[in-house]
Structure 1
Amino acid sequence: MTHEILSTHDLTVRFGGHVAVDHVTCAFRTGELTAIVGPNGAGKTTYFNLISGQIPASEGRVVLAGRDVTRASVSARCHAGVGRAFQLTNLFPDLTVLENVRLVIQSKARRGFSILSTAASQVALTERAEAVLDRVRLTAQAGQKVSALSHGNQRKLEVALLIALDPLVYMFDEPTAGMSVDEAPVVLDLIAELKAQKDRTILLVEHKMDVIRTLADRIIVLHNGALAADGAPAEVMASDVVQEAYMGRDLAELTA
């Protein structure tokens, strides 16, 4: 049975006289993947920034697992269970891929660098990190420095770091952007695996309608910063208002 884990209440942000996100009230449930769509400039990434704490809200609230986190920092929200891919990139570009993942696992376990750490615990951390890398198909790159990774492998590492963090809410903002045709399916398969676990909440900003059709349990549409539609994919896609005013031909093609 799903339950509400994250919600926004009249969430609003203004930049000067421009309202970028306009009183958005929405709840997200465990086990559900919600695609957030809308035309360029609709406020999708800004809404993500408000949820994850990159920018402060002008009005409204963000509630995570029953706790008001509206004024909490990015790191505090991260520790509370909000995981966003780019938050975790470039942590240590001069360390290896394996070392980066191991550090996130260590942080999650709240272990610091300590001379009292046992060799067994360090081995366990490394084994867990190796398992995550195997899951994202980065085992061969484990010894490479992060700064030397290809763009596609950097995106896979973002997912690896999120998996290592094990948040309550996974936030993906166009996760396959800039990836090759060969690389993109790996990341999409990983998101599908996370969804199949049914124990986490996933938010996905995506422009590719075939990706949305494959993964989404629910679609919300933002337009001019406001919530324009919210519902099951078939219901939202069938809306004439959404097709004509917000998504245009791409969405119409999806329902054909």
Structure 2
Amino acid sequence: MPGPSLHTENLTIRFGGHTAVDNVTCAFRPGELTVIVGPNGAGKTTWFNLVSGQLRPSEGRIFKDGQDITGLAPSARAKAGIGRAFQLTNLFPRLSVLENVRLAVQARQGAGPSIMRRAAALHDVRAEAARHLESARLAAVADYPAAALPHGDQRKLEVAMLVAMQPDIYMFDEPTAGMSVDEAPAILDLIAEIKKDTSKTVLLVEHKMDVVRALADRIVVLHNGELVADGKPDEVMALDIVREIYLGVGADEEAA
């Protein structure tokens, strides 16, 4: 079994007297899609923010491939292979759909705009961006401004940009939030495609049980900032503590 691609050790953050993430130790491996669940205020997004660098921990450490990245800025973590998609889309609204993805490809290559770049290289970047749009089912709107897309297509565009960065670790924070029943399957199909690459680690914050059941290899449950359950989906969802805090079903209620 490969070693962990991501490991948090005693990860904790406090805001005043409130502990939002409390001593969370957890490891994640390539080829595994883990869904992180819990009620509102459980600390899921805060934990994500700690891992991707938007927040600095009060205590604890974060490791990627065995290297301590606790002190790295978000941009350095992205270069190290941690890719994050947020609850709210994070696009260049005035640029075209294709240009958004092209910039992601260039950022991965470390190649900014330059008059010295060969035309062939620019063509290759554009062609790769077009392939990502095809995979995301956005080829038909490649020339549209990103701001003109409906919400569901904007989410797909953000995923296409994330894939173009080719991270080792994908982090999705409620990827179907605000999407209609008709829009959500396209995003889930994209994530399922990423999951097929067993060199990648996928972390997903989600509260929709149909999404959890469809994608999860493993479930981690947070409650009041603490890790209270971790394991195979069927095993975790059958635990009394999980059914009570996440599903609102207690043992007495189920027996009745």
Same structural fold, with TM-score higher than 0.5 when normalized by the shorter chain: yes
**1:181 maps to 2:181:** yes
Q: TM-score under structure 2 normalisation?
A: 0.94
| CA–CA separation in structure 2 for the residues paired with 1:126 and 1:229 | 44
**1:79 maps to 2:76:** no
The residue correspondences of 1:97-176 to structure 2 (distance < 5 A) are: 97-176=97-176
Write the letter of the residue equivalent to 1:210.
Answer: D
Residue equivalent to 1:196: 196
Q: Deviations over 1:101-158 (max 9, x none)?
A: 0011011011121121111001100000000000000011110111221111110011
Residue equivalent to 1:247: 247
Residue equivalent to 2:231: 231
Q: TM-score under structure 1 normalisation?
A: 0.94
| CA-atom RMSD in angstroms | 1.6
| CA–CA separation in structure 1 for the residues paired with 2:173 and 2:241 | 25
Q: CA offset at residue 89 of structure 1?
A: 4.7
Gaps of at least 5 residues in structure 2 are: 251-256
Residue equivalent to 2:9: 9
| CA–CA separation in structure 2 for the residues paired with 1:122 and 1:88 | 30
| CA–CA separation in structure 1 for the residues paired with 2:178 and 2:112 | 35
Contact 1:38–1:247 (CA under 8 A) maintained in structure 2: no
Q: CA offset at residue 91 of structure 1?
A: 4.4
Distance 1:87 1:168, change over 3 A: farther
Q: CA offset at residue 88 of structure 1?
A: 10
Residue equivalent to 2:51: 51
Write the letter of the residue equivalent to 2:27.
Answer: A
Task: Judge which range, 31-40 or 92-101, deviates more.
Answer: 92-101
Distance 1:88 1:82, change over 3 A: farther
Contact 1:218–1:232 (CA under 8 A) maintained in structure 2: yes
Contact 1:88–1:158 (CA under 8 A) maintained in structure 2: no
Contact 1:2–1:31 (CA under 8 A) maintained in structure 2: no
| CA–CA separation in structure 2 for the residues paired with 1:86 and 1:217 | 22
Residue equivalent to 2:254: none
Contact 1:34–1:203 (CA under 8 A) maintained in structure 2: yes
| CA–CA separation in structure 2 for the residues paired with 1:199 and 1:87 | 25
Write the letter of the residue equivalent to 2:218.
Answer: R
| CA–CA separation in structure 1 for the residues paired with 2:85 and 2:159 | 6
Distance 1:174 1:88, change over 3 A: closer
Q: CA offset at residue 82 of structure 1?
A: 0.7
Distance 1:90 1:213, change over 3 A: closer
Contact 2:223–2:245 (CA under 8 A) maintained in structure 1: no
Q: Deviations over 1:22-50 (max 9, x none)?
A: 00000000010000001111000000000
Write the letter of the residue equivalent to 2:151.
Answer: H
Contact 1:90–1:146 (CA under 8 A) maintained in structure 2: no
Write the letter of the residue equivalent to 2:116.
Answer: L
Residue equivalent to 1:254: none
